[in-house]
A and B are shown apart, each in its own frame.
Chain A
Amino acid sequence: MLEVWFSGFASLLHPEVIAFLILGMGIGLFVGVLPGLGGTTALALLTPVTYGLEPVAALALAGGVMGGVPMGGAVTAILLNTPGQTANAVTCLDGYPLAQQGKAGLAIGAAASANAIGGIIGTISVLAVLPVATDLVLAFGPPEFFLIALLGLVLVATTTRGKMLRALVAGVFGLMIASIGYNDVTGGQRFTFGIEYLWDGVHLAPALVGLFAVAEMMHLSIKGGTIAKSDSDIQVTGMAAGLLEAFKHWGTILRGSLIGTAVGAIPGVGVTVASFLSYSMTVQASKDPDSFGKGNIKGVIAPEAAINAKDCAALIPTLAFGLPGGAEMAVFMGILILHGMQPGPLILMQHQSEIYSLIWALTASCIMASFVGLMFARPLAKLTRIDTQLLAPVIIALSLVGSYAIDMVIENVILSAVFGVIGYLMIRFDYPRITLVVALVLAALAERNYHQSMLMGDESWSIFFTRVPSAVLVVFVLFSIASPFIRAYWRKPAAVGATSG
């Protein structure tokens, strides 16, 4: 095992790969400070660019982006009370009051340390769990893989911030789109209506470019304006003290990192949950809970440590089971597929070296981004003064040209534009896009294994209940579907109690 770890690390040590890692981290920091862009959009935008790269360089670029985004998001959360990512929203609670007290540098420094340490702890957990996950995956057959795909979809839908029904609609719409094209089982074409381009199905990478990069930019161009209203909003001093401050609260960092790791290993539970959970547990454990929300440095450290640890740990379900934990991981899966690496059981055996390179790249990016983020906090914050009317057309143009560059076919551009419009309409009418993406990614796995399960079980669904791992997964699926009802049931007596109290 150690040999594979080192071989993964060694493949990173090439000037070209290091250059792409640094580039990715820079892009991550850049997009992290801009609300509305984020890691998902950046990865979608970069997907076509990675096509011409070696797999290790492509994964270094993607790992760099994923590692850089949280630090960028923390800078604007602290300075402007505007989180770059939703997960950084918790950082605002104490980060912004610190900035108002003239301690923005202290908060940014502490966030940088927490980010780096959280990333390291997350990496250690991935390195420890992945080999075990490989053995577990090998014990699974078609019924289990079908149920895992179903579980992934249901988990993502039920945890989509209180929009389970709309998330399920979007997910099933994704399954419908994914059934377009060549059918593995019958060898025939479905829903292509004579369009040759659709014979291979809906191409994932251009679809993701449209759903995230194009749709988000349309959304920003409609909103208009700039994020920071004036230059006086973005002043920073005293970051070195903050860097050391985090080490004085090692218990908070450790707790946040472990919470982030645990949450990251569960598919569908977003990074926002990790940061909120870490924050609330830190408040509960504190001797002075009233100081939170007024500028307590632990309120910055706890969520930031959880965010990066979660990002690393989210690789566990994504790589081992092919279950993306969130939109960013779903787009990242698109990059893996584009490079011939199908996430799931085989990837851990066939592409071990590349996968361990990715883990090292993500860790290196987390650490580097923290330091570079500190050095460039001021210019990074100035990015929030860019007018969205300038940003949006530039990103849309580069996205659509990038979409063409993937296979050099112009139909990719049309597909991206169509998905851009679908993505914008989903934002407009409040349908979560993540379940659509997860369905696009998981549909082939689900359908293939469903057919095989039916063959194994003589066309009877009993196959899903007679095998122990399947039966356990069925219980998980049913529990996930029932969880909103259970939550509602528990909430009612609590609400009644609160009213009568």
Chain B
Amino acid sequence: MKRVFGTPVVEYVPALVMVAVTIAYLATAYTYSEQARLFPVPVGWLMLLLLALDLVSRTKTPTGEALTRLLNPAAEAEGAESRFPLLRQLSALLWVAFFTAALVLIGIMYAVPLYIFGSMRFHGKKSYLTSLITAVCVTVFTWLLFGFALQVELYPGMLFSEF
């Protein structure tokens, strides 16, 4: 993997993304009245300062290493989870995204079994039977806990909603 100042590029990504988010945040804050931006503006500038320090501390330069020793002695230089394959991490993130989309579109009673079965079978590599039984049990439990015991009207999904 490509390295900049001795550190893999990917390790700078979160701080750089946050710099972009903070600039957008500050730009929006300056459009508000003086009273309304009294708190967000210093918060935004403080964030930029901290992110600059964070970026420098991630480098393998003498300044970066000194900053890490002083402010982040226990932090892991290349991310706590970098040992796990990127595809596996992406798969876990995508399954949560899929489940969220399914909940919104087809509702709780269809999304829950679909997600449990799919995630266990294809991400967790469990057998079809184990995945199916777990999916059915969790769906029944969901209905019993939320629908029956707590009297929650379970979301039917945008596609099946009357509204």
For residue A485, CB closer than 8 A to chain B, the reply is yes
Segment at the interface with B among A99-107, A185-193, A244-252, A278-286: A185-193
* Of listed A183, A393, A402, A485, residue having the most chain B CB within 10 A: A393
Selected from A390, A401, A417, A485, the residue in CB contact (under 8 A) with B97 is: A417
B103 touches A400 (CB 8 A): yes
Cβ < 8 Å to A, chain B residues 124-146: 124-126, 130, 134, 138, 141-142, 145-146
Contacts of A52 in B (CB 8 A): 150-152
CB distance from B121 to the nearest CB of A (A): 10
A-contact bits for B1-42, CB 8 A (1 contact / 0 none): 000000000010011001001100100110011011011100
Cβ < 8 Å to B, chain A residues 367-386: none
Distance in angstroms between the alpha carbons of A164 and B29 in the assembled complex: 27
Assuming the A-B contacts A410-B155, A428-B79, are A173 and B104 also in contact, with contact meaning beta carbons closer than 8 angstroms in the complex? no
Closest A residue by C-beta to B85: A222
Contacts of A400 in B (CB 8 A): 99-100, 103
Contacts of A161 in B (CB 8 A): 74
For residue A176, CB closer than 8 A to chain B, the reply is yes
Assuming the A-B contacts A162-B74, A398-B142, A430-B75, are A421 and B54 also in contact, with contact meaning beta carbons closer than 8 angstroms in the complex? no
Assuming the A-B contacts A165-B53, A219-B81, A397-B99, are A414 and B112 also in contact, with contact meaning beta carbons closer than 8 angstroms in the complex? no
A218 touches B40 (CB 8 A): no
Selected from A166, A185, A397, A451, the residue in CB contact (under 8 A) with B112 is: A397
B124 touches A165 (CB 8 A): no
Assuming the A-B contacts A223-B84, A484-B71, are A172 and B43 also in contact, with contact meaning beta carbons closer than 8 angstroms in the complex? yes
Distance in angstroms between the alpha carbons of A421 and B124 in the assembled complex: 19
A397 touches B116 (CB 8 A): yes
B70 touches A221 (CB 8 A): no
Assuming the A-B contacts A190-B40, A396-B96, are A163 and B146 also in contact, with contact meaning beta carbons closer than 8 angstroms in the complex? no
B-contact bits for A39-54, CB 8 A (1 contact / 0 none): 0000000000100100
Contacts of A162 in B (CB 8 A): 72-75
Selected from B70, B81, B120, the residue in CB contact (under 8 A) with A488 is: B70
For residue A30, CB closer than 8 A to chain B, the reply is no
B-contact bits for A150-189, CB 8 A (1 contact / 0 none): 0000000000011111101100110110010001011010
Contacts of A221 in B (CB 8 A): 92, 119, 123-124
For residue A389, CB closer than 8 A to chain B, the reply is yes
Selected from A393, A429, A485, the residue in CB contact (under 8 A) with B120 is: A393
B39 touches A421 (CB 8 A): no
Assuming the A-B contacts A161-B74, A394-B134, A430-B76, are A414 and B100 also in contact, with contact meaning beta carbons closer than 8 angstroms in the complex? yes
Selected from A169, A429, A451, A454, the residue in CB contact (under 8 A) with B11 is: A429
Chain B, interface size: which category? 35 or more
For residue A387, CB closer than 8 A to chain B, the reply is yes
B100 touches A429 (CB 8 A): no
* Of listed A402, A408, A413, A450, residue having the most chain B CB within 10 A: A413
Selected from A169, A397, A405, the residue in CB contact (under 8 A) with B138 is: A397
CB distance from B24 to the nearest CB of A (A): 10
Assuming the A-B contacts A176-B43, A393-B124, A428-B89, are A165 and B54 also in contact, with contact meaning beta carbons closer than 8 angstroms in the complex? yes
A-contact bits for B53-82, CB 8 A (1 contact / 0 none): 110010000000001011111111001111
The secondary-structure label for the interface of chain A is: helix
Distance in angstroms between the alpha carbons of A400 and B98 in the assembled complex: 12
Selected from B14, B28, B43, B99, the residue in CB contact (under 8 A) with A175 is: B43
Cβ < 8 Å to B, chain A residues 311-340: none
Assuming the A-B contacts A400-B100, A404-B103, A428-B89, are A165 and B36 also in contact, with contact meaning beta carbons closer than 8 angstroms in the complex? no
Distance in angstroms between the alpha carbons of A424 and B95 in the assembled complex: 13
Assuming the A-B contacts A185-B36, A390-B126, A393-B120, are A172 and B75 also in contact, with contact meaning beta carbons closer than 8 angstroms in the complex? no
B134 touches A390 (CB 8 A): yes
A417 touches B100 (CB 8 A): yes
A169 touches B39 (CB 8 A): no
For residue A420, CB closer than 8 A to chain B, the reply is yes
Distance in angstroms between the alpha carbons of A90 and B45 in the assembled complex: 40
A165 touches B100 (CB 8 A): no
Assuming the A-B contacts A389-B126, A393-B119, are A405 and B152 also in contact, with contact meaning beta carbons closer than 8 angstroms in the complex? yes
CB distance from B43 to the nearest CB of A (A): 5
Distance in angstroms between the alpha carbons of A166 and B76 in the assembled complex: 11
Distance in angstroms between the alpha carbons of A495 and B110 in the assembled complex: 61
B80 touches A430 (CB 8 A): yes
Selected from B28, B54, B120, B125, the residue in CB contact (under 8 A) with A191 is: B28
Distance in angstroms between the alpha carbons of A394 and B131 in the assembled complex: 11
Contacts of A390 in B (CB 8 A): 120, 124, 126, 130, 134
Assuming the A-B contacts A219-B81, A394-B138, A397-B142, are A165 and B152 also in contact, with contact meaning beta carbons closer than 8 angstroms in the complex? no
For residue A472, CB closer than 8 A to chain B, the reply is no
For residue A19, CB closer than 8 A to chain B, the reply is no
Contacts of B115 in A (CB 8 A): 393, 396-397
Besides the contacts A222-B89, A398-B145, what 9 more A-B pairs have beta carbons closer than 8 Å? A162-B72, A165-B75, A190-B36, A218-B93, A393-B123, A394-B116, A398-B142, A404-B108, A413-B103
Shortest Cβ-Cβ A-B pairs, 4 listed: A162-B74, A389-B124, A165-B71, A417-B100
Q: Residues of B at under 8 Å CB distance from A?
A: 11, 14-15, 18, 21-22, 25, 28-29, 32-33, 35-36, 38-40, 43-44, 46-47, 50-51, 53-54, 57, 67, 69-76, 79-82, 84, 88-89, 92-93, 95-97, 99-100, 103-104, 108, 112, 115-116, 119-120, 123-126, 130, 134, 138, 141-142, 145-146, 150-155
**What are 6 A-B contacts with C-beta separation under 8 Å?**
A169-B18, A190-B40, A218-B92, A396-B96, A404-B152, A454-B38
